[in-house]
């Protein structure tokens, strides 16, 4: 049963140090508000799963919340590298980061298996690819019917999945549209679920096959308008591509990064204050400060 609650309470009550946490959203609906609250609450030693770590995990890694990363594409989309992720892998800063690396198809299948209550997923892939040499959980399996050699990977069962969606109703049912990535599978694979939403409304205007998640698979629903900024929420606001571009210089240097995180995330109480802090800096053309 979903409680409609504050994000602060949801994060402190549902995520524990050392948990395996999936914060999903494929370019669209990335749960930045929740990511920031994880940083503010000082969570440590998380195993963080995400197909595309994006800026949200760059921030979590740079703030030393993550001990291990399970991922399939670690870049700043359309811009270049994730500098905090790279620094952690190449230089061990702020702490050594264990990585478990897959492909998108593999992780997507692994969430499906998790949501389906199966121990592993099967896919056609990885032949001639070096990933199985560096990731021992990618195994070969022979089809019992045709003899074809395929790849098997363990299912993903996060302790906690966190997503951002457009709408909840007053019972805590969730509606989400546009690019929906792996969110449905990541929610149904998880033991506990936190959903932040743009809006809480009385009744959905939904066709029968819209993507709905019922309140009884969700533990906490938190109203966080703008909560996926600088990614986007279809129907609400667009992706701020400029923020992704400026992140390149904010994140490149350790001290600049730390100062930025202190000023805009640690020294603000919530995401609303964060967005005000960033837009005030932007108006002064001082986004890096």
Distance in angstroms (rounded) separating the CA atoms of residues 268 and 228: 17
In angstroms, the Cα distances linking 170 to 146, 215, 224, 248 are 50, 10, 15, 40
Looking at residues 46 to 105 of the shown chain, list those that interact with other proteins (rule: CB under 8 A). 51-52, 71-75, 77-79, 81-82, 85-86, 89-90, 101-105
Say whether residue 286 binds other proteins (CB under 8 A).
Answer: no
**Nearest Cα to Cα of residue 71 among 127, 61, 79, 257:** 61
Q: Supply the minimum distance, in Å, between the C-beta of residue 144 and other proteins.
A: 16
Q: Supply the minimum distance, in Å, between the C-beta of residue 13 and other proteins.
A: 29
Q: Which DSSP symbol is given to 226?
A: T
In angstroms, the Cα distances linking 35 to 41, 59, 203, 273 are 10, 8, 28, 15
Say whether residue 128 binds other proteins (CB under 8 A).
Answer: yes
Say whether residue 109 binds other proteins (CB under 8 A).
Answer: yes
Say whether residue 13 binds other proteins (CB under 8 A).
Answer: no
Say whether residue 155 binds other proteins (CB under 8 A).
Answer: no
Distance in angstroms (rounded) separating the CA atoms of residues 228 and 35: 10
Answer for which of 13, 67, 94, 125 binds other proteins (CB under 8 A) is 125
Phi first, then psi, for residue 137 (nearest 5°) are -80, -10
Contacts with other proteins by CB under 8 A lie at 26-28, 51-52, 71-75, 77-79, 81-82, 85-86, 89-90, 101-105, 108-109, 111-112, 123-131, 134, 148-149, 178-182, 184-185, 232, 234, 238-239, 241-242, 244-246, 282, 285, 287
């Amino acid at each position: 049963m979903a409680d409609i609650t504050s994000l602060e309470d949801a994060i402190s009550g549902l995520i524990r140090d050392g948990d395996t946490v999936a914060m999903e959203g494929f370019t669209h609906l990335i749960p930045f508000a929740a990511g920031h609250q994880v940083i503010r609450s000082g969570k440590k030693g998380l195993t963080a799963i995400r197909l595309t770590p994006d800026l949200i995990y760059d921030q979590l890694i740079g703030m030393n919340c993550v001990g291990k990363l399970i991922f399939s594409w670690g870049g700043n989309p359309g811009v270049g590298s994730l500098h905090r992720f790279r620094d952690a892998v190449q230089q061990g800063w702020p702490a050594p980061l264990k990585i478990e690396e897959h492909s998108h198809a593999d992780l997507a299948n692994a969430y499906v298996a998790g949501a389906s209550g199966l121990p592993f997923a099967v896919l056609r892939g990885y032949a001639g690819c070096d990933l199985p040499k560096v990731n021992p959980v990618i195994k070969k399996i022979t089809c019992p019917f045709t003899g074809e050699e395929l790849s098997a990977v363990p299912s993903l069962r996060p302790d906690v999945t966190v997503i951002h969606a457009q709408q909840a109703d007053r019972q805590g049912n969730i509606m989400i549209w546009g690019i929906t990535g792996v969110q449905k599978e990541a929610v149904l694979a998880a033991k506990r679920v936190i959903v932040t939403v743009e809006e809480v409304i009385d009744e959905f205007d939904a066709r029968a096959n819209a993507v709905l998640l019922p309140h009884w698979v969700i533990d906490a629903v938190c109203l966080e308008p703008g909560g996926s900024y600088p990614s986007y929420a279809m129907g609400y606001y667009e992706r701020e591509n400029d923020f992704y571009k400026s992140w390149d210089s904010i994140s490149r240097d350790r001290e600049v990064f730390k100062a930025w995180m202190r000023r805009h995330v640690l020294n603000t109480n919530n995401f609303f204050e964060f967005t005000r802090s960033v837009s005030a800096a932007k108006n002064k053309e001082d986004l890096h400060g």
